[in-house]
Structure formats: structure tokens, C-alpha cells
Structure 1
Amino acid sequence: MEKNEVNRLIKGLLADKLDWDEKKKLSQHKLIEERMKRQWKHTTSESSEQEMKERIWQRLENCRKATQTRTYTFSFRQFLVAASILLFTIGGSLWLMKHYANSPKPEYINFTAEKALLYILPDSSHVWMQPKSRICYAKDFEKQREVWLKGEALFDVTKGKKNNFRVHIPKAYIEVKGTSFSVKNKRKDKNEIILYEGKIDFNIKNASHSISLKPKDKIIYNPETTEIEIETVNHTRWENGRYLFTDITLEELVEIINQKYTSRLVLAKEINKQYKYTGSLNYDEQLEDVIKKICYSMSLKAEKKGEEILIH
């Protein structure tokens, strides 16, 4: 949980405004759980504290017996969590708030790509960034392998690290375990994530919604409505800074180019859209060079007509 969320839950606990799920979420925070365990253990040192512990336990026991006559039961796990929370409320909440207030704020590095380039993170992960894309990450990156992205980038994440790698986008994040994937969030209502190799989990923030992706899966996510679509991307691979296409149709290729460059390539009516293309596209290749390469390899021509580029 982020610091602001922890503080919100603690304040809600002290004001007795949390529901059961929020209390459970708070009790599972690492620092709080350790603190509660120490408190519970140390209450045996003095008779007055032992009496308080017994009163809390009796109060919960009465609650458990009362709920047994209803349609739901008070589980032993809930019993322990509730006992710990009561004790934590008495002696630990203010300690944790003070702990967070006094903890040093991490320093962050911000970088904006003026052109298409390769950015190497401190853990040797590669970020192939598109122009005007921006990333942000903590200086102490080995402890907090998290990146906030705005724009478009493709990640080659270094494997074998203790901490998982996360990429944050609006209202969601991608949990990574050594892999290659692209992220595009240039529009407020549309984010695109494509997995080329490895494994990632797509998570919507503030919701228990997680989707595991396999290679060639593509997620289209709307942060405003939380709607998700899943598609399959065939005939396309990623390898060391370039897309590799094998027997991709001309129609599919033009669609990929238009998405990547925000261009308006149009196929003339007489062209067979099912023509197959095999080749590559570098992450920093200029649109004009891409069009020339395709036209040369398939004996086509390109003609600019207003904002459109007609392929015939």
C-alpha cells in the first residue's frame, strides 16, 4: 500500500469508520502486523496489560458466539485479526503514523525522451522510449523497482532480481517477472499493453482485479470506465530494439504503423490487403524510411494526399 492509503486507513480506524475489509487490509500491512505481534506478546510482562489482553479476548469471544446464530460465522482468522486490531488501536496507531511522518521521502528521477531512444535503468533493464514519453523512478531503484510511465515505451526487464518490477500507468499497473512488453498510454481513454515474451500481471488499482497475460496477448484498457478488451497479436515478435514480422498481412502491418506513428496510411482499393510481408521495424525508425522499405520490398508506391498517405 502507498503511504497515503496507510494513513487514511489508520485515521479511519481511530475514528471507527472502517468496514471489516478495510480493517483486514490494514492488519495485513507488514509494519502493522509486526507491531501488533510485538504488542500482543509483550502484554504478558505486566499484570495490568495482561488483564487488558484478557478483556479484549473475552469481548471477541462474546462477539464470536453471538454471530454463530446468524447466517455467517466469525472465523478464527477474523478472530485473531480483530483481537490484534483492537490492541493495535490502543497502543500502535499513533506510533505508525509517527513512523510514516518521520520516514524520509524517497528521491525520484524524471526523464523525458526528446526522440526515440534506449534508456537503461539502474538494474540494467532496457526501456525503448518513443518521443515525448516520460518515465519516473526512485533513485534507490534496487529497493523499489517501480517505474511511472506516460507515453509509449517497450520494456526488456532484467531477470533474477529479488524485487518484482512494476510499471504504473493511469489507475493501473503491470507486475513483471522478467519479460518483454510494450505499453502505450497516449490517450486518456485508451491504454494498450502487449506481451511479447515472459509473464506479466495486469492490475487495476483500488480493485481486486488482476489478469495474467501470456505471450502475444494484448490488453486494451480504458482507465475512465475500467473496461478491458483482450486480443491476440500474431506474426509479430520483439528482439533487441526491433519488431520482427513474419507473414503479416499488409492490412495488419499498415494498422501497426498507423498506431505507432499516429499516421494515416491508406491502402488503395486495387491492392490485395492480404499480401504477406516479412521484415523488421526498428524502434527509432522514421516513418518515411519505413514506407520506402515496404514499397521497395512489395513493388508499391506511396503518394501523399493531404493528411493521408496513399499506398498503391
Structure 2
Amino acid sequence: MNKLLLKKYLNNTCTDQELEQVKQFLKQPESEELFREVLDEAWQEMEEPELNIHAMATYRQQLMQKVQNNNENIPETSKLWPTTWIKYAAILVLPLMFGLYQLSKNKKEISAKVAIIESYNPKGQRSIVSLSDGTVIYLGSNSKICYPKTFSNVREIELIGEAFFKVKRDPARPFIIHTNNIQTKVLGTSFKIEAFRGNPVEVSVATGKVSVDRQADPTKKQLTSVAVLTPGNLVNWDEKTKKATLAKISTQELEQWKDGNLTFNNQRLADVVAVLERCYNVKIHISSDALSNYRINTTCSLNESITKIMDIMGKAASFKYKLQGDQIIISN
């Protein structure tokens, strides 16, 4: 569980799956501390200089009293949450947040501060996303990022898929990327993350230093270090085997990825095909296991057509291909 997902919950922008994940998390005793921190940050973001401080303090007291009273009026056998008041506050958070907004003279401006933006690329599309702090993200195909419209004390986003980051340096505000149970933390650097659902997470560094940690227990806040990476190094974390693999990578190759150049170094044809399917939104079928395991060494540009790339790989790997309906069939 991370703060960004809880903020989405407060902002009522969770998907059904995310909503269920938050609800299950809030049933855990360990959720109180993290949820309290998120609420405190929300308070801080709303406390504009022009607000009446006495009125705010009074409202805080009334809010807590209201939650406690509501909790006391629920029979023990029908309570949805543990007895701690903050858990029950989660149920009431939307109307309470609306009440907070009424205290501000500039409601629209404050609301924008907690807005969560979602950028998604379907297969076959790539995009460049510029964040409010000056960070630039090159988002790959079949990938999604969620980020606040404006950052507070900590810069946090969520990634599913792959992206290359050029993080604006800000020593006072670390930049954190959440990918499943992996957290990547930087101050200002450039690096690439690949984190598709069901696959290992891979972090590769082009410039600067990157800290990669994992959340061993989703119900707790403690993090375990996976690796600290410097330029030209990568770590591959497999959640299924709980194993981290370190390797070297060309920094030039990483920089080129953001421009649409793909480099395959001794990779299985099956793995290369998976990348091409995602980047070109096509279906590619390999007719034999022997071909699937054939090792590919090549560099190609996404500016080229898929048939041109298949021609190049076919000559290198001595295979044939044909178009059949909406599929490409690879055979000996």
C-alpha cells in the first residue's frame, strides 16, 4: 500500500480493483499510521494562509468528535471497521473533505492540488508526459502512470508498464515511483523502469544514483533494500522467486529507448516478439519452440514498419514469416 493510492481513494478516483485493495488494507491494524499521514498531508495542502486558523482548529475538533460519535452509535456486531476512529473516518472521508473545502475562499484552486491524473498508452502508442516539477516521462506502449497534478513535500507517482524518467533534481523532495511492491527513489537522475503485471520489475540507470527497495509485507511500511544503482547498472527483481539479479547495460541504449530505438542483446525470439506485439499492437505467432528460443542480437527503430523489422530479423535468424489475417506467423 502506498500514499498515492490512498490519496486516490480520498479523491474518489480509484478503480474498483484499487477500491477493494484499499478497503482490505484499512481493515489491518497497521493501516492507521499511514492513513493518518495521508490525512495530515491533505490538511496541510488545504490550509491556505487566508483561512481562519481558529475556525480550522474548531472544525478539526468537531470532525473528530463526529467520527467518534458515529462510531459509538454502531453496534459491535455490525461495525465494518476496527474500533480505531481513523478506520471509520475512511467511510466518511468524502463528505468530510467536502466540508473542509467549504472553509476555503478558493475551493477550485485547492481541489486541483489533490487531483490525481492518469496517463495511459494502449498498445502501439507512446507519449511524453511533463510533470509540474519539471520531470519528463517517456511512457511506453501498454503503460500507465498516475500522478498528482501538483506535488507536495514528496513527489510520488505510480507506474504500470515501462517508462524512461528524466527527474528534475530537488534534494528537498525525493522522487518515488511505486511499481507493485517495488519502490524506486531518486533525487534527480535519468533511468528506465519496466514493470508489467505478472513480470519481474527491472530498473536500469543512465545517469545519477537510484535506490530500489521492496515492501516485503504490504500491511507494513518497512522497506527492504533491493539494490542501489549507478549509471550502466540494472537490477531485475522477480517477486515470485524473491530474487534480485544485477547486470550491466549500455547507458546509450537506455537513452535511445526514449527515442523509439529498441536494442536486443542475446534475447530469446519469444521475448523480442512480446516487445514488438506491445509496440506495434500486432499478434505474432512462433510455430516452434526451437524458434522461440533462438537468440536475437539486433537494433531496430519504431519508426520502421513491422514488416521491415521482420525482414531484418528473418535474415539474421533464418526464419520466414507471413501475414495471415491480423497475425504474423513465424516459421522455419
TM-score (norm 2): 0.50
Consecutive unaligned residues in structure 2, runs of 5 or more: 7-24, 41-83, 101-110, 278-283
- Aligned partner of 2:117 among 102, 109, 121: 109
How does 1:22-171 map onto structure 2 within 5 Å? 106-114=114-122, 115-141=125-151, 143-160=153-170, 162-171=172-181
SS at 2:267 equivalent = helix
AA partner of residue 236 (structure 2): I
Q: Which residue of 1 is the match for residue 244 of structure 2? A: 229
The CA distance in 1 between the partners of 2:297 and 2:200, in whole Å, is 29
1:291 matched to 2:310: yes
Structure 1 residue aligned with 2:190, among 159, 176, 180?
180
Q: Is the 8 A contact 2:192 2:254 kept in 1?
A: no
Tell which structure's C-alpha radius of gyration is larger. Answer: 1
Give deviations 1:26-68, integer Å, cap 9, x for gaps. Answer: xxx9x8xxxxxxxxxxxxxxxxxxxxxxxxxxxxxxxxxxxxx
Instruction: Specify which structure has the bigger relative contact order, considering alpha-carbon pairs within 8 angstroms and separated by 6 or more residues.
Output: 2
Code of the aligned partner of 1:201: S
Once residues 173 and 135 of structure 2 are traced to their aligned partners in structure 1, the CA distance between those partners, rounded to angstroms, is 13
Deviations 1:276-310 (A, max 9, x none): 65x5535x7654343345568x6977523876654
The partner residue of 2:233 within 194, 217, 236 is: 217
- Residue 108 of structure 1: how far off its partner (Å): 0.9
Distance change >3 Å, CA 110–CA 305, structure 1 → 2: closer
Structure 1's consecutive aligned runs of 4 or more residues displaced over 6 angstroms after TM superposition are 101-105, 243-246, 265-270, 273-276, 298-301, 305-308
Is 2:266 the partner of 1:258? no
Q: Which whole-Å CA distance do the structure 2 matches of 1:267 and 1:197 have between them?
A: 40
Superposed CA RMSD in Å reads 4.8
User: Relative to structure 1, is the Cα distance of residues 189 and 123 closer, same or farther in structure 2, using a 3 angstrom cutoff?
Assistant: same
Describe the shift of the 1:288–1:202 C-alpha distance in structure 2 as closer, same or farther (beyond 3 A): farther
Structure 1 residue runs without a partner (length 5+): 13-24, 32-92
* Deviation at residue 189 of structure 1 after TM alignment: 4.9
Cα distance in structure 1, aligned partners of 2:143 and 2:211: 23
Mapped partners of 2:290, 2:32: distance in 1: 65
Q: Which residue of 2 aligns with 1:281?
A: 301
Following superposition, the deviation at residue 154 of structure 1 comes to 2.1
State the alpha-carbon separation in 2 of the partners of residues 198 and 287 from structure 1.
Answer: 34
Secondary structure of the equivalent of 1:122? coil
Q: 1:274 and 1:110 mapped to 2: Cα distance?
A: 37
Q: Structure 1 residue 230: deviation in Å?
A: 1.2
Distance apart, 1:113 and its partner CA? 1.8
- C-alpha spacing 1:231/1:285, structure 2 compared with 1 (3 Å): farther
Identify if the C-alpha distance between structure 1 residues 231 and 138 changes in structure 2 by more than 3 Å, giving closer, same or farther. Answer: same
Residues 176/311 of structure 1: CA separation in 2 closer, same or farther (3 Å cut): farther
Structure 1 position 260, deviation (Å)? 2.2
Cα-to-partner distance string for 1:72-101 (whole Å, 9 max, x where unaligned): xxxxxxxxxxxxxxxxxxxxx999x99xx7
Q: C-alpha distance in 1, partners of 2:314/2:273? A: 16
- Matched ranges for 1:2-41 at <5 A: 2=3, 8=29
Number of positions where the alignment pairs a residue of Structure 1 with one of Structure 2: 225
Cα separation, 1, equivalents of 2:305 and 2:270: 16
Contact 2:233 2:249 in 1 (8 A): no
Query: Residue 242 of structure 1 is aligned with which of 259, 267, 289?
Result: 259
Identity of counterpart residues, as a percentage?
17
Residue type matched to 2:196 in 1? K
Distance 1:305 1:146 in 2: 44
Distance 1:10 1:181 in 2: 31
Paired residue type of 1:304: K
User: Retained in 2: the 8 A contact 1:180–1:238?
Assistant: no
Residues of 2 paired with 1:286 and 1:143: CA distance?
A: 44
Deviation of residue 215 (structure 1)? 2.9
Per the alignment, residue 41 of structure 1 pairs with none
